[in-house]
């Protein structure tokens, strides 16, 4: 028997579970309401349309996949951070098959401006995190970065490699770690 859902978080949790079990087409107002054991109107109390529900679900999936690690050391060491990121990418692919590709391609269309904005915000957050880790990593040799080759430049390179790995569904971090070791240490 389904329990009664009264929060936005529980609705999003049910939406994510539907995606895991049945794929993206399963997410609509009626199916989510049924999964939550509430009326369709209850879902509309939180989301004014299917598009709003899907956008919030996408955002909650990004947050679940890249939820900040409890281990603070991960964000003070570049190599540990890369291992963590690639592990989270693999987790995301396993939990939500096709999510990265589908989301990237689907939300890059012009009529999906809000979805595109949300994806870019997530990507910007990851980029800023990479910059922060690179700046805090005490193991990086002092002359690794210059005016021409900045922390931001290298973070962009790492991020590009990460996006490429997402699209290829290749979560082997060893080649990226080798690049990091050769350039920074």
Digit-by-digit pLDDT tens for the chain (185 residues) are 445 656 899 999 999 999 988 888 889 999 999 999 999 999 999 999 998 998 899 889 988 988 876 777 788 899 999 999 999 999 999 998 878 776 555 544 544 566 667 677 778 888 999 999 999 999 999 999 999 999 999 999 999 999 899 888 899 999 999 999 999 99
User: For position 3, what pLDDT does the model report?
Assistant: 53
Distance CA 144, CA 97 (A): 38
pLDDT of residue 118: 67
Query: What pLDDT was estimated at residue 110?
Result: 42
Residue 166's Cβ-side half-sphere holds a number of Cα atoms within 13 Å equal to: 21
CATH numbers and ranges of domains, the chain: 8-60 (1.10.10.60), 67-184 (no CATH)
SS (H, E, C) the chain: CCCCCCCHHHHHHHHHHHHHHHCHHHCCHHHHHHHHCCCHHHHHCCCCCHHHHHHHHHHHHHHHHCCCCCCHHHHCCHHHHHHHHHHHHHHHHHHCCCHHHHHHHHCCCHHHHHHHHHHHHHHHHHHHHHHHHHHHCCCCCCCCCCCCCCHHHHHHHHHHHHHHHHHHCCCCCHHHHHHHHHHHC
């Amino acid at each position: 028997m389904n329990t009664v859902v009264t929060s936005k978080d529980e609705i999003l949790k049910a939406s994510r579970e539907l995606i895991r079990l049945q794929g993206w087409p399963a997410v609509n107002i009626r199916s989510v309401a049924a999964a939550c054991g509430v009326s369709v109107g209850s879902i509309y109390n939180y989301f004014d349309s299917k598009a709003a529900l899907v956008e919030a679900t996408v955002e909650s999936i990004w947050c679940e996949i890249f939820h900040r690690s409890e281990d603070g050391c991960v964000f003070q060491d570049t190599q540990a951070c890369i291992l963590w990121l690639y592990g989270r990418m693999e987790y995301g692919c396993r939990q939500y098959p096709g999510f990265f590709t589908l989301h990237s391609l689907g939300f890059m269309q012009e009529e999906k401006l809000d979805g595109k904005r949300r994806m870019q915000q997530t990507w910007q957050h990851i980029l800023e995190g990479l910059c922060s880790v690179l700046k805090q990593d005490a193991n990086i040799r002092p002359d690794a970065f210059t005016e021409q080759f900045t922390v931001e430049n290298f973070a962009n390179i790492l991020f590009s490699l990460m996006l490429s790995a997402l699209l290829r569904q290749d979560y082997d971090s060893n080649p990226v770690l080798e690049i990091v070791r050769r350039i920074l240490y």
